[in-house]
Amino acid sequence: MMKASVDQNKEETGGEAEKEIIYETFLDKNGNEITIEMGKVIGEDEDGNKIELYVDKAEDIIIYSNTYRGKINKIEDNKIYFEVDLELIEGTSAGYNNVKDYVLVFDIDTYDLKPNTTVEYSVNDHIIYDDKMYFNGDEVRELIGKYVRLQDFCFEDNYIKEKYKILSFMDR
């Protein structure tokens, strides 16, 4: 069962600004209630219209975060073979080291890509290209030969303490 409540707080920031917080409660796969605190933010939709969004205020714990530039050479036996030619320099957001080319292999079978729709709150792995989600190696084949940035993450969810992985491919 999902519940929502609103708590509006006034803050002094050169004038009065209103900050809206929403609490949503979900059930996880074990029947435990999880309450998420979300803060209101103003964003834009794809047409440039201002919209109100609510985002989770808690940040997941980063287990690892690796960023590379290179290309997918092949997909075979549900494995992605990614040839790395640049690695992100640790502690920077855009500096890369030119490295001797090597291949990373990502086994898609080790990713839990199907969301659990039988519960209100769960975490699952993702393989993404820009905003497109992939669910198997055949779908990722369209990226073979494309030069991309790859971000390989593993997080731990703050609420249910489960780990999840993200492989994110981007043109930029």
By residue count, the chain amounts to: 172
Q: Which of 15-19, 31-35, 136-140 has the lowest mean pLDDT?
A: 15-19
> What does the pLDDT read at residue 95?
86
Q: What is the mean pLDDT of residues 70-89?
A: 93
Q: What are phi and psi of 93, to 5 degrees?
A: -110, -10
Q: What is the mean pLDDT of residues 1-18?
A: 37
pLDDT at residue 13 is higher than 60: no
pLDDT at residue 97 is higher than 90: no
> What does the pLDDT read at residue 125?
93
pLDDT at residue 17 is higher than 70: no
> What does the pLDDT read at residue 6?
38
Between 84 and 12, residue with greater pLDDT: 84
SS (H, E, C) the chain: CCEEEEEEEEEECCCEEEEEEEEEEEECCCCCEEEEEEEEEEEECCCCCEEEEEEECCCCEEEEEEEEEEEEEEEECCEEEEEEEEEECCCCCCCEEEEEEEEEEEEHHHCCCCCCCCCCCCCCCEEEECCEEECCHHHHHHHECCEEEEEEEEEECCCCCCEEEEEEEECC
Residue type, 32: N
CA–CA dist 91, 107 (Å, integer): 27
Q: What is the mean pLDDT of residues 53-57?
A: 88
> What does the pLDDT read at residue 138?
84
pLDDT, tens digit, 9 for 90 and up, residues 146-157: 999 999 999 999
Q: Which pLDDT band, with edges at 50, 70 and 90, does 63 fall under?
A: very high
